[in-house]
Amino acid sequence: MTELIRGFEISEDLCTIRFKGKADVCSTVGCAYSDRFEGISFSEGAPDVLEVPCFGDPSSIRYTVLKKGETEVAAVASAVFSDNLMRAGEECKESGNGICVVILISARLPQHSAARAMVTATEAVTAVLREFDLGTGCSPFTGSKIQEFVIASPHDSPITLTGTGKHSKLGEFIGRTVMDSVRDSAVANGMKDYPEILFDRLGLGSEKGKSCDPETLILFSSLLHLRDEVVWGFIQEDAAFRAASAMVEGLGKEICGASTITDICKSIEGEMSR
């Protein structure tokens, strides 16, 4: 076992987390709030260990740690991005895949703060899905059919922290560790990382994409997002066209005969494909 943060150790295969002392556990898995567990396991564990689901290959479990002064946060995630993804309010799908995140905090959390930490963690998962631009048509995914969270904090810590929302450093650490660990686990389970997704969307292979002029690549990525916002109804076509034209001119490029943002995108795409 290796110390992850104060009060918590993790096994070499990352499947088991052990508490060094008594810990308070707030969970969507098996129990709402308890102090009877001595650890957490992504595989079958002992009676005193909270068992949580592992999605995909166990070797794809990933963790991230952030520390500042007495504040230490770790997130350990198992995540698959496939047919389990959906938008809130949609009809539930059949899928055995999902996302599970264990969040460890070195200070004691009151019960209401642990619950708020789950809200922050949920928003972090949604942020990762938006980074990957995952969705169907004009309906971006916001989460997974199966999405489990566990928050654990030392029961006897001399330090008590209450702010777990986005307004606090602790909330920032929760968001960042969840995002990084979920992203890394999903990629380890076969999800393409963002550059590869962008290259696919541009109609470029990974090697061709990496050889493109970086300024042109950034420009086209921004133009695609502008076009998406027109499709989603967030901005008007004429406003998007003016913004896109200014971006293109700012990089010293010329677009002849373009009357829509789609025309501009096609022109830049042709330049990148040459």
pLDDT at 61 over 90: yes
Same domain, yes or no: 46 and 137: yes
Instruction: Using the CB atoms, write b or e for 52-77: b if 16+ within 10 Å.
Output: bebbbeeebbbbbbbeeeebbbbbbb
Q: Which one-letter amino acid corresponds to residue 257?
A: G
Please identify which residue in the block is written with the tokens 């406003």: 239
Query: Per-residue pLDDT for 240 more than 70?
Result: yes
**Per-residue pLDDT tens over the stretch 155-190:** 999 999 999 998 899 999 999 999 999 999 999 998
> Are 164 and 181 contained in the same domain?
yes
Q: How many CA atoms lie less than 13 Å away from 134 in the CB half-sphere?
A: 26
Name the more confident of 138 and 96: 96
Rounded CA separation 193/186 (Å): 9
In degrees, rounded to 5, the angle at the alpha carbon of residue 145 between the alpha carbons of residues 99 and 180 is 25
Give pLDDT, residue 22: 92
258 with 160, same domain: the answer is no
* pLDDT above 90: percentage of residues in the chain: 51
Q: Is the same domain home to 168 and 238?
A: no
Q: Is 206 found in the same domain as 245? A: yes
Q: Which of 119, 211, 134 is nearest to 166 (CA)?
A: 119
Check pLDDT > 70 for residue 92: yes
Confidence of residue 19 (pLDDT cuts 50, 70, 90): very high
Both 114 and 178 in one domain: the answer is: yes
Choose one of 139, 157, 188: the last residue of a domain. 188
- The 3-state DSSP class for residue 25 equals strand
* Angstrom distance (rounded) from CA 140 to CA 124: 15
Q: Give the residue from 151, 167, 188 where a domain finishes.
A: 188
pTM score > 0.95 for this model?
A: no
Contact status, residue 102 vs residue 150, Cβ threshold 8 Å: yes
| Residue 168 and residue 215 in one domain | no
Q: What is the count of structural domains for the chain? A: 2
Give the range of the structural domain holding residue 228, as residue numbers without chain letter: 194-273
Same structural domain, 46 and 162: yes
Of 230, 192, 195, 215, whose CA–CA distance to 272 is shortest?
215
pLDDT digits (tens, 9 = 90+) for 103-157: 999 999 999 999 999 999 999 999 999 888 787 656 788 999 999 999 999 999 9
Burial of 128 (0-12, 13-18, 19+ CB in 10 A): buried
